[in-house]
Chain A
Amino acid sequence: QVTLKESGPGILQPSQTLSLTCTFSGFSLSTYGMGVGWIRQPSGKGLEWLANIWWDDDKYYNPSLKNRLTISKDTSNNQAFLKITNVDTADTATYYCARMGYGYNFFDYWGQGVMVTVSS
């Protein structure tokens, strides 16, 4: 059974760094073809892909945010991480992590999401 769960600070101030953790089970990021992606959704709005990381440590970033994003993984603890630097109110959203299985570039299992508010 594949599960993913996001965790984060809840609220932070503009210019701070947002650190998110995705803890998952039912698969391993050391297995060929596996990947984890991060997607966010402002309240009442659409989905925006941010970044993803593959089993071989290959990484992809959304060019519109690339300079602010860092994705990483801890294979032994079944976790993936995303950092977003210099946050602004526009970064207020629900952040999801999702599995990308078997080399596929879509998201077959999603976490429940974590709400992040940027406010002074």
Chain B
Amino acid sequence: DIRMTQSPASLSASLGETVNIECLASEDIYSDLAWYQQKPGKSPQLLIYNANSLQNGVPSRFSGSGSGTQYSLKINSLQSEDVATYFCQQYNNYPPYTFGAGTKLELK
């Protein structure tokens, strides 16, 4: 199984700040990576797929980058509605599809 290691596990940032969340795969996943946002009490929502493609309807302050084993999610100009837990998922080598453990983003 491919292990997905997310960092940090939690993060506190101020409104308007830029935030970066990292995801490290245990082997090359060839950009087959998605990012999801899960707000408290809600189901996950797709933000980014293929490492850097923005899902329809997702604000442009969200962006994804990376290749090989290292990937990141960037949130520019943090808004209050961005408070959530973020998960990465690899879909290059399956079964199983595997997720990172999540990064909990809070406001400072």
Contacts and interface: CB of A to CB of B under 8 A. Distances in A.
Interface stretch (B18-26, B62-70, B75-83, B94-102): B94-102
**Interface-central residue, A63, A106, A109, by most chain B CB under 10 Å:** A106
Contact of A106 (B34, B42, B43, B98): B34
A63 B96 CA distance: 7
Nearest to A51: B95
Contact of A108 (B42, B46, B99): B46
A61 to B, nearest CB: 6
B91 interface: yes
Contact of B44 (A104, A105, A107): A107
Contacts of A104: 49, 91
Contact of A111 (B1, B43, B49, B100): B43
A60 B44 contact: no
A120 B94 CA distance: 34
B85 to A, nearest CB: 9
A62 B96 contact: yes
Interface in B37-86: 42-46, 49, 55
Interface residues of A, number: 21
A48 interface: yes
B43 to A, nearest CB: 4
B45 A46 contact: no
Interface string A84-113: 000000000000100000001111111111
Interface string A34-78: 000100000000111100000000001111100000000000000
26 contacts: A46-B100, A46-B102, A47-B36, A49-B97, A49-B99, A63-B1, A63-B95, A104-B49, A104-B91, A105-B32, A105-B91, A105-B94, A106-B34, A106-B46, A106-B89, A106-B91, A107-B34, A107-B36, A107-B44, A107-B89, A108-B49, A108-B55, A109-B46, A111-B43, A112-B42, A113-B43
Interface of B: 1, 32, 34, 36, 42-46, 49, 55, 87, 89, 91, 94-102
Interface of A: 37, 46-49, 60-64, 96, 104-113
